[in-house]
A and B are shown apart, each in its own frame.
Chain A
Amino acid sequence: MSHDPNMDSPEHSQERREFLRNTAIAAGAAVAAPGLLISIASATGEGGVTSDTRWGMLIDTDKCADGCTACVTACDKENGIDLVEQPQGNSDEMWEMQRPQWIRKLKLRDKQTGDITNLPMMCQHCEFPPCEDVCPTGASFKRADGIVMVDRHICIGCRYCMMACPYKARSFIHQNVAEQVVNAPRGKGCVESCNLCAHRIDEGQTTTACQDACAAEGHNAILFGDLKDRGSAISKALKSRSSQQVRADLELNTGVRYTNV
């Protein structure tokens, strides 16, 4: 290598120091910028969802009509579940056990009295969700506003949450997904469940698809709202009538409550 005597002159030394300094600043900015952007983005997100709110539901089983599945149909449409097709070669029996279901209708009979109860069953949005506890990656999580959902970017499809859920509220996507709706992205090999129409809430709406469908049928069995707002219809209803949690013995403090079960 040849030696350039000019390189040692004071001017060049100065230039070199400036060059190094600018490079360091540029490199530092390049490293910090994405982090900064991410923190700005998440700060914005956190601004939208706070723990001042806890979304919940009250189901009046006396109003839930025998044979009506309007809530299920509405949920399927809202969340693109009706777009998931039965794989070729799959029997109807297997499809019934493998297709995603976010909400289902149950008809119960009391063994003692013979009384019949109809109700919708879905994710109960526990305050202490077992699915969140067992998820190895944190993909199952509870939002600050009480909605339990799956981050489908980091769900590895281990199904441990499905083992842990006391309500059979979760579905695994067993097949390729061709069509889907924007508000409910779906991927083969991930787990999903009712998210109380989080996309609607985030847009500022105050009802879920199932609630709207139930009301449109004239039943009004589903009441959705903020459990922490003492003035909300759901809080007033919970205060005035006795309600119960499903599997209250587990002390999960569910966000979904039922009356007259």
Chain B
Amino acid sequence: MVAVVLIGLAAAFYMEHSGHHVTGMTNHIVWGLPHVFAIFMIVAASGALNVASIGSVFGGPLYKPLGRFSALLAIGLLAGGLFVLLLDLGRPDRLIVAVTTYNFKSIFAWNIFLYTGFFAIVGVYLWTMIDRSVHQHYKVLGFAAFFWRLALTTGTGSIFGFLVAREAYDAAILAPMFIIMSFAYGLAFFIVTLMAAYWWAERSIGDLRMTKLKNLLGVFVGGVLYFVTVYHLTNLYVTQHHGVESFFLASGGIYTVMFWFGQILIGGILPLFLIYSPAFDRSRMAVLVASLLVLVGGFFQIYVIVIGGQAFPMSLFPGKEVLETTMLDGAIAPYTPTFAEAALGVAGIMVAMIMVAVASRMLKVLPDTLEDPADKS
């Protein structure tokens, strides 16, 4: 894992040293594969906190012992996402400018506060869960963290929702859609890492707890499919958006394939089948595979939104076709990611996993047993 991070760092150095011409990113696809990884992890980070929120905000006793690990995973995923996002900047050396000079009309500037605030609040929240002497503040912090994570995902969704010029974006539904996406990705990440940690430590998780997590994932995945359906149906109603809808749903080549096979089939229908089919009622493997599929499908979903949304041309002159241009006006912008971009993105995930693994060893975040309460008696 450390080696992967080092390769990612080397890739980032290569990209910064040579300039972004060594990547597949251009003046047309200005945000590429690193941004897909970064946004995917940032969205998942806030969702990973859900399990803790269910324990403290909604009073779910079965979820309460899982709260610490949930908070830790949330911090790790956000750190991994920001690692990628910051190292892809054209001028990462000017990070100090980004944290000292603000334009408060920019949702990006707000996000800087939302991200740092998330670290702080979830960090203290985690502390109140671990340290009995400050445990009385646990509820308040739980609520604060819950509202903060909603704001954070709204902010991430709004990065796209506020782009009035691009037809694939500019929709208020993107913000709540990102929230439900974060619920699904975050919980999928949580289930995968929790099962891995317990498998690694040769401990067991109770059936009831697994069933609860599994059913919750099913609800979230269904929720994502619902929001995606509403997003596309509302777009289809507006004649102006028929072009971009036809691009995503029918004629967009790789993006159409990613949408139907990646996002809908792998990320939605197959996990729902694994979760709800009676054939896999008690199968741990089915839950694990379903969670992994949700993550793969989620990655495709972010790819379609980020890259596909940029690839589709902006219409400057409705009713006219472009015969000559040097800026790909009216044409689909091509994009082929390079190894360096992928290496940086994967390194971000590894940073998150290393942080979670190391902190799990140092802090007491994983209960010794996750057997169901009934099993103990």
User: Interface residues, chain A, CB within 8 Å of chain B?
Assistant: 87, 90, 94, 96-98, 100-101, 104-112, 116-117, 121, 130, 132-138, 154-160, 162-168, 170-176, 187-191, 246-247, 250, 261
Contact yes or no, A175 B327, CB < 8 A: no
Chain B residues, Cβ within 8 Å of A112: 319
Q: Of A94, A101, A156, A188, which contacts B97 at CB under 8 A?
A: A156
Q: Closest Cβ of chain B: how far from A172's Cβ, in Å?
A: 6
Q: A130-B164, A174-B21 are in contact. List 17 more A-B contacts (CB 8 A).
A: A87-B21, A96-B326, A105-B325, A107-B325, A121-B329, A134-B106, A134-B107, A134-B108, A137-B102, A138-B102, A157-B90, A157-B91, A159-B31, A163-B166, A172-B90, A247-B165, A250-B165
Chain A residues, Cβ within 8 Å of B163: 130, 134, 163-164
Contact yes or no, B317 A188, CB < 8 A: no
**Known contacts A172-B90, A189-B90, A247-B316; A158 and B27 CB within 8 A of each other:** no
* CB of B16 closer than 8 Å to a CB of A: yes
* CB of B324 closer than 8 Å to a CB of A: yes
Cα of A173 to Cα of B327 in the assembled complex, Å = 15
Q: Of A90, A121, A172, which contacts B327 at CB under 8 A?
A: A121
Contact yes or no, B98 A137, CB < 8 A: yes
* CB of B196 closer than 8 Å to a CB of A: no
Q: Closest Cβ of chain A: how far from B357's Cβ, in Å?
A: 30
Cα of A87 to Cα of B325 in the assembled complex, Å = 22
Contact yes or no, A189 B89, CB < 8 A: yes
Cα of A4 to Cα of B163 in the assembled complex, Å = 73
Q: Closest Cβ of chain B: how far from A164's Cβ, in Å?
A: 6
Chain B residues, Cβ within 8 Å of A174: 19-21, 25-26
Contact yes or no, B103 A106, CB < 8 A: no
Q: Chain B CB within 10 Å — which of A162, A166, A174, A191 has the most?
A: A174
B: contact size bracket: 35 or more
The contact sample of 21 A-B pairs, CB cut-off 8 A, is A97-B27, A97-B28, A104-B326, A105-B324, A106-B329, A107-B325, A134-B107, A136-B103, A136-B112, A156-B98, A157-B94, A166-B314, A170-B27, A172-B27, A172-B30, A173-B19, A175-B21, A189-B91, A190-B90, A247-B165, A250-B164
Q: Hey, what's the 0/1 contact readout for B91-129 against A, CB within 8 Å counting as 1?
A: 110110110011101111101100000000000000000
Chain B residues, Cβ within 8 Å of A111: 319-321
Contact yes or no, A261 B164, CB < 8 A: no
* CB of B133 closer than 8 Å to a CB of A: no
* CB of B277 closer than 8 Å to a CB of A: no
Contact yes or no, B102 A261, CB < 8 A: no
Chain B residues, Cβ within 8 Å of A168: 27-28, 314, 327-329
Q: Closest Cβ of chain A: how far from B24's Cβ, in Å?
A: 8
Cα of A133 to Cα of B16 in the assembled complex, Å = 26
* CB of B377 closer than 8 Å to a CB of A: no
Among residues 8 to 40 in chain B, which have CB atoms less than 8 Å away from a CB atom of chain A? 16, 18-21, 25-28, 30-31
Cα of A106 to Cα of B160 in the assembled complex, Å = 28
Cα of A135 to Cα of B323 in the assembled complex, Å = 32
Chain B residues, Cβ within 8 Å of A164: 162-165
Chain B residues, Cβ within 8 Å of A104: 325-327
CB contacts between A and B, total, < 8 Å? 176
Interface of B is mostly: loop
Chain A residues, Cβ within 8 Å of B92: 156
Q: Of B107, B109, B321, B328, which contacts A97 at CB under 8 A?
A: B328
Contact yes or no, B21 A156, CB < 8 A: no
Q: Of A101, A110, A135, A188, which contacts B319 at CB under 8 A?
A: A110
Contact yes or no, A154 B102, CB < 8 A: no
Q: Closest Cβ of chain A: how far from B92's Cβ, in Å?
A: 8
Q: Closest Cβ of chain B: how far from A28's Cβ, in Å?
A: 24
Top 8 A-B pairs, shortest CB-CB distance = A157-B90, A189-B90, A166-B165, A136-B108, A97-B26, A107-B324, A174-B21, A138-B103
Q: Closest Cβ of chain A: how far from B156's Cβ, in Å?
A: 13
Q: Closest Cβ of chain A: how far from B107's Cβ, in Å?
A: 7
**Known contacts A156-B90, A163-B31; A172 and B322 CB within 8 A of each other:** no
Q: Closest Cβ of chain A: how far from B108's Cβ, in Å?
A: 4
Q: Closest Cβ of chain B: how far from A82's Cβ, in Å?
A: 14
Contact yes or no, B30 A108, CB < 8 A: no
Contact yes or no, B18 A133, CB < 8 A: no
Cα of A190 to Cα of B103 in the assembled complex, Å = 17
Q: Closest Cβ of chain A: how far from B36's Cβ, in Å?
A: 14
Q: Hey, what's the 0/1 contact readout for B271-291 against A, CB within 8 Å counting as 1?
A: 000000000000000000000
Chain B residues, Cβ within 8 Å of A136: 98, 102-103, 106, 108-109, 111-112
Using CB atoms, name the residue of chain B closest to A72. Answer: B326
Cα of A173 to Cα of B328 in the assembled complex, Å = 18
Chain B residues, Cβ within 8 Å of A90: 21
* CB of B310 closer than 8 Å to a CB of A: yes
Contact yes or no, A98 B21, CB < 8 A: yes
Contact yes or no, A159 B90, CB < 8 A: yes
Q: Chain A CB within 10 Å — which of B27, B103, B105, B325 has the most?
A: B27
